[in-house]
Structure 1
């Protein structure tokens, strides 16, 4: 009886440890992740931020003077702080002009306007997804009566992202366009972005970067067009395509001059020269008179100035591999269609290579069947994943623990003989002892 009691204690203890461990694991995996929202040592500012978060029902924690909120609530918290004017306490916006000092000089007014504009731009940037901190510095356009001495507007933006994440090219261009649109005379190319390490991340001034991006876009379009032509016109859906496009973004400017020829030009200068000579020989007098006319005319000229676009395709190379079931005639027809459809220019150096490989052909019906099966599997996976909420996981695990407990309880149940032995009366026990002594004495 004590043996089974001890085993029950051990089993219950082990089961309790398993349940507590599972609950702890669920709490660890399901607890929200907190990210920094604001780091501020000023207690008054912290109190204002906490008041705004409490009013907006946004959960938060405070660690080392840093207010952290749930990662899923970071955008909502930034908007709430921005409405309360606390998106970044160190930056000031147009609230500088709430109490206008009419005795302020024009120079001071310009400085305040620049500070306010920098603060408003920084606040707008910090409301973007993934942004932790931003600071904007503006160099406005310098007004002067001399066009040559006129200084262009410039700007620099220092940003810090959450978890040091990298900004995409579209985000960088968006910030540059945001700043340039808010400042008069500022070009987006003159807006420099730096990260928290002081590295320049605004690479849109690099021509090679633009060329690479444009090449990738054109290559993707060519590959998509090739697949559409082969599938819709020749019913070929298993094909390998690789394109390489060289793009030249250099600008060219050509100036040409040619004369305007006409029968009669404009008379600029008319010159007439006359000379006479008197000769005498043998007392004989004779005279000779010479004259010449020089006319100078002005002929007009035509000047044409042509500036070519900055984007020019230098060369296109396309490689295509199709199944080996196609014959030479079909390959030739396909190549002619693709060269015409893609605009392959042999004079420019373009090249299109079409070869057949030992790729088994795949019928349209097989592809449709495969797509349907894949779609069904994805739908089943999505259904299972959507149904497995944290509560359902806990319920399923609890049921598994309960079944395991019942199985172990059944296995550890004492045998029938032992139970019957525990239920014997004293008289029955004495009879059994007498019989045992008799058997032992007999042996």
Structure 2
């Protein structure tokens, strides 16, 4: 074998022969277990915290995002069947901002930037199509900026103009919005999109705009006459809801400024009058007459017998004084209001950190009631009603939520500390086991060197030199050409020689005893 192999592995082989198989397995298993434990703790303590970058993506969108992340060398992984992408939480906002600058998870819809790429010799039809695409793209971008919209697509149909007005086809538009499936889209937001599109396209009536969501559900009301009374009822309910929310918010904002948030609740229920009354009245005033036209006719004649006659006719036409009134009632006028007001009391701090509930005085409740009446336009002549009560609010749920939040924060802190402590403990255990193993191996190797040196010296019949001897040379000489039995005998001989050197008097007595026998 090569010299370097003998120098390196001979002590280890000798150590393996000296110790038993059981001890060797224990030492090796302990070292391996320490390595596995340290590696597991290191992996657990340093594993990345993943956060969702985008969810609800199609396969094409996921592929685009993955390509962009790999181009930026950002670690990522796919979850939820490839519809969601996660990155390290430390990189979440940085990556999201970079992707947003490039249009987000999907390609950015072209807008008026299409008009910046005009080429020479473009026809009028192509120019009209580019303008139409630019308008649709700008509308889609604007709608996509809304909080409740993830992505939007707009299509506008502008028919060719006709020479006859009765044959002209109206302009129509359709909008597809991709929203969060767990979020209910209010009708007011949909109507805002309709108004936005109708105001941006020339000649487009809001009733000609159709809005659907990603599942194909119609978000706008049908403008056909087949809807009938059902559609009218929906409009009335929506108008009533808006009126209630508007009045409730006006009163609640005022109370929050006075009492603070969470110390009062006000709700307004309105009854609206949707009766459309049109009245036309015509009044005649005979006392005030104005001459419209007047006609006078005079006739005179004379006879031979000297008789003379005269006749005068007068016709006067008067203009009749007429008053014409056309009255139309207000649609959705307030018929009656019902108001409910609940106010929390005062809390006076007491001993040991406790608080005592103190009800509000009747004067305070009367002032608060008057504030609400003024805010909603209370009118006794309509039969409006208001009920104001001073009741202690239940803060159990809020306290429970705060306690749970504090517990979660504490758990996170302790979990982080536990991770670090276990990581350090694992490193210390690993270093301790490694140090003990290395010390044992070093001690065994030292003993093997000493024994082999003694064997070599005994075999050659030489005394131990005072100068240092190369241990590797002695080992090579001792192992060269010797059988296991010879090594065993030499080992026993070396022990006897060593005992005699260390205990010469006892060795001499033992030899004398042998000679005497």
Distance across 2 between alignment mates of 1:50 and 1:339: 59
Distance across 2 between alignment mates of 1:74 and 1:164: 22
The one of 285, 290, 302 aligned to 1:265 = 290
Distance across 2 between alignment mates of 1:271 and 1:176: 69
CA offset at residue 156 of structure 1? 0.8
* Aligned counterpart, 2:339: 318
The one of 36, 40, 53 aligned to 1:20 = 40
Aligned pairs for 1:168-247 within 5 A? 172-188=190-206, 190-202=208-220, 207=235, 208-225=237-254, 241-247=266-272
* Aligned counterpart, 1:95: 114
> How much is the aligned-residue C-alpha RMSD, in angstroms?
5.9
Distance across 2 between alignment mates of 1:326 and 1:394: 47
* Aligned counterpart, 1:419: none
Cα distance, 1:78–1:7 mapped onto 2, change above 3 Å: same
Cα distance, 1:197–1:227 mapped onto 2, change above 3 Å: closer
Gaps of 5+ in 1: 275-288, 361-366, 368-373, 411-443
CA offset at residue 146 of structure 1? 5.8
Distance across 2 between alignment mates of 1:78 and 1:303: 64
Cα distance, 1:118–1:272 mapped onto 2, change above 3 Å: same
Distance across 2 between alignment mates of 1:247 and 1:254: 20
Say if 2:144 and 2:151, in contact at 8 Å, map to a contact too.
Answer: yes
Is 1:299–2:320 an aligned residue pair?
A: yes
Aligned pairs for 1:383-422 within 5 A? 394=416, 396-400=418-422, 402=424
Distance across 1 between alignment mates of 2:275 and 2:72: 53
**Normalising to structure 1: TM-score of the pair?**
0.56
Say if 2:280 and 2:326, in contact at 8 Å, map to a contact too.
Answer: yes
The one of 383, 386, 389 aligned to 1:349 = 383
Gaps of 5+ in 2: 1-19, 223-230, 300-309, 346-357, 433-517
Say if 1:52 and 1:81, in contact at 8 Å, map to a contact too.
Answer: no
* Aligned counterpart, 1:431: none
Tell me whether 55-64 or 316-325 shows the greater mean CA deviation: 55-64
Distance across 2 between alignment mates of 1:75 and 1:348: 56
Say if 2:250 and 2:375, in contact at 8 Å, map to a contact too.
Answer: no
The one of 173, 177, 182 aligned to 1:155 = 173
* Aligned counterpart, 2:515: none
Distance across 1 between alignment mates of 2:98 and 2:206: 29
Cα distance, 1:329–1:67 mapped onto 2, change above 3 Å: closer
Q: What SS is found at the alignment partner of 1:87?
A: coil
Cα distance, 1:136–1:343 mapped onto 2, change above 3 Å: closer
Aligned pairs, how many?
360
Cα distance, 1:401–1:330 mapped onto 2, change above 3 Å: closer
Distance across 1 between alignment mates of 2:74 and 2:239: 42
Say if 1:58 and 1:69, in contact at 8 Å, map to a contact too.
Answer: no
Distance across 2 between alignment mates of 1:130 and 1:21: 43
Cα distance, 1:100–1:303 mapped onto 2, change above 3 Å: farther
Q: What SS is found at the alignment partner of 1:353?
A: strand
Distance across 1 between alignment mates of 2:179 and 2:313: 88
Is 1:31–2:50 an aligned residue pair?
A: yes
CA offset at residue 80 of structure 1? 1.0
Say if 1:219 and 1:243, in contact at 8 Å, map to a contact too.
Answer: yes
Say if 1:253 and 1:307, in contact at 8 Å, map to a contact too.
Answer: yes
Cα distance, 1:26–1:154 mapped onto 2, change above 3 Å: farther
Distance across 2 between alignment mates of 1:302 and 1:147: 38
- Name the structure with the higher helix share: 2
Larger radius of gyration: 2
Report which structure shows greater RCO (CA 8 Å, sep ≥6). 2
* Aligned counterpart, 2:12: none
Say if 1:40 and 1:65, in contact at 8 Å, map to a contact too.
Answer: no
CA offset at residue 74 of structure 1? 4.8
